[in-house]
């Protein structure tokens, strides 16, 4: 079971990193801008790309130099906040979006990321007594 949890964590981290690379490569517009919005960073882009880059750096700065349990604990904490932001944005999309495709995506985000938040909170409790 630990391998499944570790694989899920690794897949989540890789997905996040791929999204970051695509978003930065596209300069925060088009698909990359959508990815940044899905990642909870859309509001940060309003202040310009420099502010977005600073926010992105801040997200990963807390992980620098960490490994093992220290890394896992910090990663989980950061990802819970990140996912909660995505769920909040998706709820706004359900209320305000025009296109059914966006509303469906919002429902999918709420479902998947709520499940992932619960999984990460369970890990926090089981592994770190939080």
Residue-range domain boundaries for the chain:
1-61, 66-130
Mean per-residue pLDDT for 106-122? 97
Closest to 6 in 3D by CA, of 117, 86, 123, 121: 123
Q: What confidence tens digit (pLDDT) does each residue in 15-62 have?
A: 655 555 455 444 443 333 444 444 444 444 444 456 546 655 676 888
pLDDT tens column, 58-86: 768 888 899 999 999 999 998 998 899 89
pLDDT value at position 100? 97
pLDDT for residue 83:
92
Q: Output 88 or 13, whichever has higher pLDDT.
A: 88
Give the C-alpha separation, 28 to 49, whole Å: 7
CA–CA dist 71, 36 (Å, integer)? 23
Residue 22 contacts residue 32 (beta carbons within 8 Å): yes
Is the pLDDT score of 13 beyond 60? no
Per DSSP, the residues of 9-21 read HHHHHHHHHHHHH
Q: In whole angstroms, give the CA distance from residue 102 to residue 14.
A: 24
What pLDDT score was predicted for residue 62? Answer: 83
State residue 58's pLDDT score.
72
What is residue 61's predicted lDDT score, i.e. its pLDDT?
84
Exposed / middle / buried, residue 11 (Cβ in 10 Å: 0-12, 13-18, 19+): exposed
Handedness of CA 23, 27, 31, 34 (dihedral sign): positive
Question: Residues 86, 42: contact at Cβ < 8 Å?
Answer: no
Q: Is the pLDDT of residue 105 over 70?
A: yes
Quote the distance between the C-alpha of residue 53 and its chain's center.
Answer: 15
CATH architecture of 66-130: Up-down Bundle (1.20)
pLDDT at 114 over 50: yes
């Amino acid at each position: 079971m630990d391998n499944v949890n570790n694989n899920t964590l690794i897949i989540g981290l890789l997905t996040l990193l791929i999204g970051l690379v695509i978003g930065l490569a596209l300069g925060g517009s088009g698909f990359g801008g959508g990815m940044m919005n899905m990642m909870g960073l859309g509001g940060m882009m309003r202040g310009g790309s420099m502010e977005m880059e600073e926010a992105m750096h801040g997200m990963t700065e807390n992980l620098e130099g960490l490994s093992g349990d220290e890394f896992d604990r910090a990663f989980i904490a950061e990802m819970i906040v990140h996912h909660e932001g995505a769920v909040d944005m998706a709820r706004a999309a359900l209320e305000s979006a025009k296109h059914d495709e966006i509303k469906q995506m919002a429902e999918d985000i709420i479902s998947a990321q709520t499940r992932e938040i619960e999984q990460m909170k369970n890990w926090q409790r089981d592994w770190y007594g939080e």
